[in-house]
């Protein structure tokens, strides 16, 4: 069941008819899946359902225009499209609804995402790229409305890069940049800022992107009059229309139930975007939502009877059927028969998916039931255990949780038993977790041979007469080496192109490597990120620059929701090895502090967060990450660009290791842990502390995510028995994360003779100016006194109170 692309070309009438009937079959199948899907949720077999009913017909037309190598970035209404490109079967649809954890059964996400979130596989079982030019591609959906938009921009831009940048090996990714990135979005979601930001950026960049707006006049219960000025998104975006004088968009409008017009419009859109690299917007109007928004609630609550009657008359399937009959393509009787046979097929597919989902669990339940039954022979608590068994066996549709609850509760009743049955139960629970935990928790980070943790260190080397240069020179020369060595790399950001970034770390590189590879972009952090995500998903190695760490906030939603979850939500079937470049630390002012690491760390698990204390370390991180397939955020020290460093003679080659701390000063009295610019202050203070006889060990974390994989910090604490973490984030921010790692993960509490301390900035954001900084963030004196006080508490005689 797959749509045939070339409907209009040189076809006999009988081929033409068959093609349309094939399309209608796909649409009916999709509709029946939606109807039965809702029932599966309402009867409790599935947890939640959100379906594509009412949006079927335009997706048939879209699928015809969609070619191998193209990419989709859409949302939960696109199930008909996925079926029409042959990437979603009936069984897979229902497996997704049940949350089947096998990637074969639910290729979209192996049960990790709720149904209606689609994707295809870009990676093979060894995490190598598949040939994306030979398949129809769908980037994996996310739930936040309009969250698919930033990525869409990058998916489209990749074609532009592949078409225009010389020297890249395009084999697996592109044929002359002919691929179109197709987006879909609901009418109401166009109210989001991400939509407008993406639309503007694609117009500026002139990339092959076709965005379809599925307009059903509602966003859940909220009517267009509360969503969109003039209740019409293509009307208000008219100014984007291209003309003879200026680039822009081609804006097309079509009724969502008008099959022949839809076919023409999608073919036209495809041609314009593919050949001219001009973005196209298709406003698909007059769509319906026959079952309401999702399985939570019914649309009768918010649509009046007129609207409901209209929706029934203008249901795109009903209209397509009318058209087919009117044009002699089929008869009412034939279509009734067709509908019957489809209903049967969908029922069978659903049953097969359910059996595949439930059988292994039922088998596991039998095994467990027997184990528990055996226990009742020997345990004095047999009555309680029997009750648990009865409860377990009476569950009609058990899930894994039911099994584990029964098994783990039973353990509590047999704590004092000493039977082989007890040992069997323990072993069963342990192996059940071992087997099943990865189904829910694997692939947060890369599990391939290219995970950055496995990329070995190469230390910077220096000639005897190595020059002392500004830090920015090291970064700049290293980027130059990177762009010369890897044609698939590119960097883009505000002021990154013409002037070579605000600190001239890219000075002269646009001239040398071209405007497409070292590029200025608009002030639009979320879509800078989206550009990076989309291009990385198509085999390029983008470096997305966000000018300052504070402005990462604008992009944090997309970093967190999209980039950080991508590998996880596809169970390792898609990746975006993007590097985010930014600069921060020890800045001054409320919005220029560069300090908010705690907030970031908590939201970006799945991305490595690297905090080099100087530019040599930073350059080494870029070199490491480019060898890896893991996304990362690299924060350069803003006050390091003009600080002198020795110029290594293996620029572009040396690599800073990931997840490895560095002891920058050895000592015996206390372990001081810090990172970034604050680390340099701690180093300075450690020298001052020596003057009063306190010999501190200073450790640079370097890599916050992952954190100290060798557990070197606890080794230091074992020696010094005292610990202080110093950073410039708020109390309870990154310092709390570090403390948790050292105390709970590395078990440092065993070795502590003093309370472990954190020294942080104030609760508020830092005030402006040098005094603002002094009173807001830890100063050298703060660090000195805090460390001194720890020593005073331990030994007041040698360290009398300072103040
Ligand atoms: C950022 C965000 N806000 C709210 C929601 C909850 N939500 C899910 S779908 C939806 C309505 C979307 O309407 P529309 O874009 O018109 O798509 P439709 O469902 O009508 O096809 C809302 C508010 C969400 N998923 N994400
Ligand atoms: Mg809508």
- Each residue's pLDDT tens digit, 720-775: 999 999 999 999 999 999 999 999 999 999 999 999 999 999 999 999 999 999 99
Report strand pairing: 218-219 vs 222-223: antiparallel
Pocket test for ligand 1, best of 117, 187, 220 (most atoms within 8 A of CB): 220
For 276, residues 6+ apart whose C-beta sits below 8 A from its C-beta are none
The per-residue pLDDT for 4 is 61
Q: 200 CA distance to ligand 2 centroid (A)?
A: 22
Q: Which of 115, 145, 283 to mutate to test the pocket of ligand 1 (most atoms within 8 A of CB)?
A: 145
Q: Atom of ligand 1 at shortest distance to CA of 146? A: 1
> Residue 404: which residues within 8 A CB-CB, separation 6 or more?
429, 432, 433
What pLDDT, on the 0 to 100 scale, is given for residue 269? 98
**Contact, 136 vs 70, CB < 8 A?**
yes
Q: Which residue, judged by its Cα, is nearest atom 20 of ligand 1? A: 219
Span 564-582, average pLDDT: 98
243 Cβ neighbours under 8 A, 6+ residues apart: none
**Closest among 572, 542, 548 to 124, alpha carbons compared:** 572
Whole-model pTM over 0.95:
yes
pLDDT at 576 over 90: yes
Minimum-distance ligand to the CA of 55? 1
Encoding tokens for residue 692?
Answer: 């009063």
| Dist. CA 198–CA 209, nearest whole Å | 10
Query: In the beta sheet, which residues pair with residue 222?
Result: 219
| pLDDT tens digits for range 143-187 | 999 999 999 999 999 999 999 999 999 999 999 999 999 999 999
3-state secondary structure of 707: coil
Residue 77 Cα: closest atom of ligand 1 = 21
Q: In the predicted model, what is the mean pLDDT of residues 480-507?
A: 98
Q: How far is the CA of 297 from the centre of ligand 1 (A)?
A: 14
- What spacing in Å lies between the alpha carbon of 515 and ligand 1's midpoint? 37
What average pLDDT does this structure show over 451-465? 97
Q: Above 80 in pLDDT, residue 790? A: yes
pLDDT value, residue 587: 79
CB 256 within 8 A of CB 248: no
Q: How far apart are CA 120 and CA 68, in angstroms?
A: 12
Report the mean per-residue pLDDT for the chain. 96
Ligand 2: distance of its center to the CA of 681 in Å?
54
DSSP lists the bridge partners of residue 541 as: 489
Is the per-residue pLDDT at 245 higher than 70? yes
Is residue 8 predicted with pLDDT exceeding 60?
A: no
Angstrom distance (rounded) from CA 539 to CA 489: 10
Amino acid 378: pLDDT: 86
Confidence of residue 593 (pLDDT cuts 50, 70, 90): confident
Please tell me the distance from the alpha carbon of residue 288 to that of residue 294, in angstroms, as a whole number: 13
Average pLDDT over residues 413-419: 92
What pLDDT is stored for residue 6 in this prediction? 54
Closest ligand 1 atom, residue 227 Cα: 16
Q: Is 592 a catalytic residue?
A: yes
Q: How far is the CA of 335 from the centre of ligand 2 (A)?
A: 29
Tokens 């003009």, residue? 642
Nearest CA to ligand 1 atom 12: 219
Q: Which ligand is nearest to the CA of 186?
A: 1
| Contact partners, residue 289, CB within 8 Å, separation at least 6 | 53, 54, 216, 218, 299, 311
CB 181 within 8 Å of CB 155: yes
Distance CA 262, CA 268 (A): 10
> Which residues lie closer than 8 Å to 90 by C-beta, 6 or more apart?
29, 33, 345, 346, 349, 350, 353
The torsion angles phi and psi of 302, rounded to 5 degrees, stand at -125, -5
**Which residues face 518 on adjacent strands?**
491
Indicate which residue of 223, 424, 592, 792 is catalytic.
Answer: 592
Q: Is 176 exposed, middle or buried (0-12, 13-18, 19+ CB in 10 A)?
A: exposed
Q: What percent of the chain has pLDDT over 70?
A: 99
Instruction: Tell me which DSSP letter residue 754 carries.
Output: S
For a ligand 1 pocket test, name from 149, 217, 219, 560 the mutation site with the most ligand atoms within 8 angstroms of its C-beta.
219
State residue 594's pLDDT score.
Answer: 86
Helix, coil or strand: residue 123: strand
- Asked if 156 and 535 count as a contact pair (C-beta separation under 8 A), the reply is no
Nearest alpha carbon, ligand 1 atom 18: 186
CB 619 within 8 A of CB 441: no
Ramachandran assignment for 480, one of left (phi > 0), alpha (psi -120 to 50 degrees), beta (any other) = alpha
Q: Is the CB of residue 161 less than 8 Å from the CB of residue 491?
A: no
| pLDDT value of position 9 | 58
In order of 477, 492, 530, 536, the CA distances from 194 in angstroms are 35, 19, 10, 19
Pairing of strands 518-520, 489-493: parallel
Q: 273 in helix, strand or coil?
A: helix
Q: How far is the CA of 144 from the centre of ligand 1 (A)?
A: 7
**SS3 of 377, please?**
helix
47-73 pLDDT tens trace: 999 999 999 999 999 999 999 999 999
Instruction: Say what the pLDDT of residue 7 is.
Output: 53
Q: Which of 363-367, 378-382, 622-626, 654-658 has the lowest mean pLDDT?
A: 378-382
pLDDT number for residue 354: 98
Mean pLDDT calculated for residue range 133-144: 98
Q: Which of 76, 89, 82, 33 is nearest to 62 (CA)?
A: 82
Atom of ligand 1 nearest to the CA of 187: 16
For residue 645, cis peptide bond before it (omega within 30 degrees of 0): no
Q: Whose CA is closest to atom 11 on ligand 1?
A: 219
Task: Look up tokens 């489209």; give the residue.
Answer: 156
Residue 178 has φ and ψ, to the nearest 5°, of: -85, 5
- With CA atoms as reference, report the closest residue to 521 among 542, 487, 545: 545
Burial 347-366 (b: 16+ CB within 10 A, else e): eebbeebbebbbeeeeebbe
Looking at residue 734, its pLDDT comes to 98
Q: What is the pLDDT of residue 1?
A: 62
Residues paired with 544 in a beta bridge: 492, 580
Question: Where does ligand 1 bind, in terms of residues with CB under 6 Å?
Answer: 77, 143-145, 186-189, 214, 216, 218-220, 293
The confidence score (pLDDT) of residue 352 equals 98
What are the residues facing 614 on neighbouring strands? none
Q: Which atom of ligand 1 is nearest to the CA of 55?
A: 21
Which residue has 């370097």 as its token pair? 702
Q: Residue 470, CB half-sphere, CA atoms under 13 Å: how many?
A: 11
CB neighbour list of residue 627: distance below 8 Å, 6 or more residues apart: 450, 452, 455, 655
Q: How confident is the model at residue 5 (pLDDT cuts 50, 70, 90)?
A: low
Q: Is residue 493 classed as helix, strand or coil in its secondary structure?
A: strand
Q: What pLDDT digit, counting tens, does each position of 92-132 carry?
A: 999 999 999 999 999 999 999 999 999 999 999 999 999 99
Q: How far apart are CA 594 and CA 588, in angstroms?
A: 8
Q: How far is the CA of 781 from the centre of ligand 2 (A)?
A: 58
Atom of ligand 1 nearest to the CA of 144: 26
For 330-358, the DSSP string reads: --HHHHHHHHHHHHHHHHHHHHHHHHHHH
Read off the pLDDT band of 13 (50, 70, 90): confident
């Amino acid at each position: 069941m797959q749509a045939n692309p070339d409907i209009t070309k040189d076809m006999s009438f009988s081929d033409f008819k068959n093609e349309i009937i094939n399309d209608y079959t796909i649409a009916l199948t999709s509709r029946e899946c939606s109807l039965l899907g809702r029932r599966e949720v309402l009867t409790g077999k599935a947890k939640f359902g959100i379906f594509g009913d009412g949006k079927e017909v335009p997706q048939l037309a879209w699928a015809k225009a969609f070619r191998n190598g193209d990419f989709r970035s859409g949302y939960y209404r696109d199930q008909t499209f996925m079926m029409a490109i042959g990437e979603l079967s009936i069984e897979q649809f229902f497996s997704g609804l049940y949350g089947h954890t096998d990637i074969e059964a639910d290729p979209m996400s192996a049960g990790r995402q709720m149904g209606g979130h689609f994707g295809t596989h870009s990676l093979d079982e060894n995490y190598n790229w598949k040939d994306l030019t030979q398949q129809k591609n769908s980037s994996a959906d996310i739930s936040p409305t309009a969250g698919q938009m930033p990525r869409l921009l990058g998916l489209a831009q990749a074609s532009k890069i592949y078409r225009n940048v010389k020297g890249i090996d395009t084999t697996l990714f592109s044929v002359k940049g002919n691929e179109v990135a197709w987006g879909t979005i609901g009418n109401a979601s166009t109210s989001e800022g991400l939509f407008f930001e993406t639309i503007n950026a694609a117009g500026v960049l002139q990339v092959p992107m076709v965005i379809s707006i599925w307009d059903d006049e509602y966003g859940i219960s909220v009517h267009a009059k509360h969503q969109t000025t003039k209740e019409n998104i293509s009307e208000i975006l008219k100014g984007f229309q291209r003309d003879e004088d200026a680039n822009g968009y081609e804006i097309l409008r079509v009724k969502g139930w008008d099959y022949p017009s839809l076919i023409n419009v999608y073919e036209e859109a495809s041609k314009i975007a593919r050949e001219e690299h001009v973005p196209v917007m298709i406003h698909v109007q007059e769509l319906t939502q026959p079952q309401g928004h999702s399985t939570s609630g019914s649309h009768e609550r918010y649509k009046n009877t007129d609207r409901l009657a209209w929706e029934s008359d203008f249901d795109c399937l009903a209209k397509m059927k009318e058209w087919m009959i009117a044009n002699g393509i089929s008869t009412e009787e034939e279509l009734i028969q067709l509908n019957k046979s489809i209903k049967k097929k969908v029922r069978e597919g659903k049953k097969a998916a359910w059996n595949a989902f439930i059988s292994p669990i039922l088998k596991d339940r039998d095994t467990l039931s027997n184990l528990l039954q055996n226990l009742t022979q020997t345990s004095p608590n047999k009555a309680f255990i029997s009750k648990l068994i009865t409860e377990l066996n009476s569950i009609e549709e058990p899930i894994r949780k039911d099994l584990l609850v029964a098994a783990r509760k039973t353990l509590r009743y047999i704590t004092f038993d000493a039977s082989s049955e007890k040992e069997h139960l323990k072993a069963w629970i342990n192996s059940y977790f071992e087997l099943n935990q990865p189904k829910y928790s694997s692939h947060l980070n890369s599990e391939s041979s290219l995970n950055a943790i496995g990329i070995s260190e190469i230390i910077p080397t220096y000639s005897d007469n190595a020059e002392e240069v500004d830090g920015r020179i090291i970064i700049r020369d290293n980027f130059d080496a990177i762009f010369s060595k890897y044609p698939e790399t590119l960097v883009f950001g505000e002021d990154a192109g013409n002037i070579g970034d605000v600190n001239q770390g890219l000075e002269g590189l646009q001239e040398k490597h071209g405007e497409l590879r070292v590029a200025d972009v608009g002030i639009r952090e979320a879509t800078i990120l989206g550009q990076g995500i989309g291009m990385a998903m198509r085999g390029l190695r983008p470096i997305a620059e966000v000018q300052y760490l504070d402005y990462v906030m604008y992009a944090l939603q997309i970093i967190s929701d999209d980039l950080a979850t991508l590998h996880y939500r596809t169970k390792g079937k898609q990746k975006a090895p993007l590097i985010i470049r930014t600069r921060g630390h020890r800045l001054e002012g409320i919005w220029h502090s560069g300090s908010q690491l705690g907030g970031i760390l908590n939201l970006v698990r799945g991305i490595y967060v690297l905090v080099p204390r100087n530019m040599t370390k930073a350059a080494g991180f870029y070199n490491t990450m480019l060898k890896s397939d893991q996304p990362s955020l690299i924060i350069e020290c803003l006050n390091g660009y003009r600080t002198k460093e020795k110029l290594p003679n293996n620029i572009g080659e040396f690599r800073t290791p990931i997840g490895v701390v560095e002891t920058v000063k050895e000592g015996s009295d206390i372990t001081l842990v810090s990172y970034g610019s604050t680390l340099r202050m701690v180093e300075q203070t450690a020298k001052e502390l020596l003057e009063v006889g306190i010999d501190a060990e200073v450790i640079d974390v370097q890599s916050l995510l992952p954190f100290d994989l060798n557990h070197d910090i606890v080794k230091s604490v074992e020696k010094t028995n005292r610990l202080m973490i110093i950073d410039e984030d708020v109390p309870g921010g990154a310092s709390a994360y570090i403390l948790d790692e050292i105390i709970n993960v590395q078990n440092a509490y065993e070795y502590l003779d003093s309370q472990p301390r954190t020294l942080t900035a104030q609760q508020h954001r830092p005030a402006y100016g040098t005094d603002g900084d002094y009173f807001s963030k830890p100063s050298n004196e703060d660090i000195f006194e805090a460390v001194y006080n720890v020593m005073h508490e331990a030994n007041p005689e040698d360290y009398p109170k300072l103040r």
